[in-house]
Chains A and B, each alone.
Chain A
Amino acid sequence: MFMLRLAKLRHALLRVTSAVSLFFVSTLAFAEYGFNLQPPVTPIAREILNLHNAIMIVCAVIFVIVFGAMFYAVFAHRKSRGHKASDFDESTKVEIVWTVVPFLILVGMAIPSTATLLKMDDVTESDLTIKITGYQWKWHYEYMDKGVSFFSVLATPRDEIGRPMFSSTGFKAGDAKNANYLLQVDKPLVLPVDQKIRFLVTTNDVLHAWWVPQIGIKKDGIPGFINQMWARIEQPGTYRGQCAELCGKDHGFMPIVLDAVSEQDFNAWLEQEKAMMAAAAAGADREWAKAELLEKGKETYDKVCASCHQPNGQGIAGVFPAIAGSKVATGPLDEHLHLVMAGKPGTAMQAFGPQLDDVALAAVITYQRNAFGNNTGDLVQPSRIKALRK
């Protein structure tokens, strides 16, 4: 009986708040200044927006009442207006009232919050599972049981960001910035609409958090553990988000882009991806020329390694060692191979063996051994990496 009434109350509350929130969404979200949460595209995100608007309004009302009273006193009960002080200093009755009333308001807030939370935490009966792995500073997406996986990194060019005054490289103003500045990636996560998608979140190094505001979910990735969340996207479109847990130097440069497409488009895309992955695997078996390796190596280096070791190979003193003149990159090849493939535990230097394919690894190591004034002349063939993996 009690529960029934609560449910009714909740519905009424929700109806009022969704009306109010509709107003907010329609008038504010598209203004130049974003004043409120981004427009939701999943049922959960919508519930959160309603909840948010409801509690915000309750808080605002409390605020206005309390400070209405206070400012009335400030204006009316001032000495300069000749107001004489009374000397009352307690009243059990009002004390009880302003303990109990806020408590009841809080209960009213807790009920819809609990309901939404229970829905969010129910990850059963999903149609598709995506495993998300955070790396410094990129995302890896794996479509479970679909044989497709890839990395996704920031696509905004360095020149657009610019170089700060107090840095080793000296000031350089950033170029004109495009509309999706810092929110664009080389390869977006593609997802079908109207399916319950389960996300498994983890990381390979430090903490990261995967967050796309419009689909209303945010979860930390914890190395060694897996967190779960889910979303059912209702509208096709491109949705952008960012890493939301401090993960080191390039935490601000780790965006998420998600393309929600129809189910047919999604399936077509999957097939295309599979074909591309097969083609890349085939490349490992042939002999590569030096120029070809260096070109591919530079590409990989700039995309994967340069965020730490810097585009010019000079690193950052005390934090990331230089590749130029590095003992490892100019010393015995085996050590270099081992370091890059296995990483160095306890430092930011990750194991790239599992991350990069044979060609990319061979190319980037070749590149490091022949660029920035490192003139070892060594060539590493993809086949060597392939052999090493066994």
Chain B
Amino acid sequence: MSSHGSYYLPDPSPYPVITSAGLFSLALGFVLWINEVALGSWLMLLGAAIIIVMMFRWFGTVVSESEAGTYDKQVDFSFRWSMAWFIFSEIMFFGAFFGALFYIRMFAVPWLGDTELLWPGFEADWPTAGPEGPIALQPHEVPGPGQFTPMAAWGIPALNTLILLSSGVTITFAHWGLLKDNRGQLITFQFLTIVLGILFLVLQVEEYVHAYTELDLTLKAGVYGATFFMLTGFHGLHVTMGTIMLIVILVRCMKGHFTPQRHFGFEAVAWYWHFVDVVWLLLFVFVYWFL
């Protein structure tokens, strides 16, 4: 480590460039894989492996630097600013998909319904899979061929809303535990949060299986299917990431890494978790509830 004043400046590091190479391998492999070219899946595996190893090393370094007390208040602020604005960029990513959903529901589908010349007889009711897709089943209809059933809001989705909302509460309790230096409370509630996160994911998988096997609701079921699965799917991906991050933080809590004064790692993950939570609320309202 070199010293350039109080602000911590890391030494040269090979992690970023190797991570980039891993990402390249993953991307290249992915392109080859979706185009059914040999080696694609192997390249993807290789890329993923490189990235995972690098993340371990990189974050490991950050954690040990943090534990060694190399980060002063100013460095801590750099982390805070960048985490906060990173979450903002994630919001914009979801914004693209929400925007697509609103545009489709408010403009595209009604216009298709008005285009009698091209799509005679097409009724512009949401949910829809479009003029040539399967037809959405109305309540109390018996499913027939060429039909799909929209996802109901008041089953698993409502339960999942409850779960995520509670997890927002439990992580706050964990934070309070941390602030009071009550390790028992911290670890218990952090653990509970993780359990809720996993429960959410299990139910989400259950819902997908249900959609595919019983409702004929698939990614290919027109715009309804596309927006439904892409929005909930990316959200699920973020919950997965969040849960992994929660687990890492739990381990660090158990190792006694955080103090009531300094625990940016914990807070960053808590912010992230709240963000995932809020996205879900929007999903619940606009994807499941207001059909």
Contacts and interface: CB of A to CB of B under 8 A. Distances in A.
Judged by CB atoms under 8 Å, the answer to whether A and B touch is: yes
Contacts of A225: 111-112, 115, 118
Contacts of B112: 224-225
Contacts of B118: 202, 224-226
B17 interface: no
A200 B117 CA distance: 10
Contacts of B131: 224
Interface of B is mostly: loop
A127 B72 CA distance: 78
Contacts of A202: 118
Contacts of A200: 117
A366 to B, nearest CB: 31
Interface in B77-123: 111-112, 115, 117-119
A123 to B, nearest CB: 14
Contacts of A131: 117
Contacts of B119: 224
A82 to B, nearest CB: 46
Interface residues of A, number: 6
Interface string B48-73: 00000000000000000000000000
A202 B112 CA distance: 13
Contacts of B115: 224-226
Interface residues of B, number: 7
A224 B115 CA distance: 8
Interface string B6-49: 00000000000000000000000000000000000000000000
A166 B282 CA distance: 54
Interface string A82-96: 000000000000000
A50 to B, nearest CB: 33
Nearest to B108: A225
A140 to B, nearest CB: 14
B237 to A, nearest CB: 26
A77 B273 CA distance: 60
A269 B115 CA distance: 30
Interface string A187-204: 000000000000010100
Contacts of A224: 112, 115, 118-119, 131
Interface string A130-153: 010000000000000000000000
B43 to A, nearest CB: 21
Nearest to A345: B132
Most central of B112, B117, B119, B131 by chain A CB within 10 Å: B117
Contacts of B117: 131, 200, 226
Contacts of B111: 225
Nearest to B119: A224
Nearest to B131: A224
A225 B131 CA distance: 12
Interface string A209-238: 000000000000000111000000000000
A233 to B, nearest CB: 24
B75 to A, nearest CB: 37
A131 B118 CA distance: 11
A148 B150 CA distance: 43
A225 B114 CA distance: 9
B120 to A, nearest CB: 13
A345 B36 CA distance: 19
A226 B118 CA distance: 8
Interface in B191-247: none
Interface of A: 131, 200, 202, 224-226
Given A131-B117, A224-B131, 13 more contacts: A200-B117, A202-B118, A224-B112, A224-B115, A224-B118, A224-B119, A225-B111, A225-B112, A225-B115, A225-B118, A226-B115, A226-B117, A226-B118
Listed from nearest, the 9 A-B pairs whose CB atoms lie closest are A226-B115, A225-B115, A225-B111, A226-B117, A224-B118, A226-B118, A202-B118, A224-B112, A200-B117
15 contacts: A131-B117, A200-B117, A202-B118, A224-B112, A224-B115, A224-B118, A224-B119, A224-B131, A225-B111, A225-B112, A225-B115, A225-B118, A226-B115, A226-B117, A226-B118
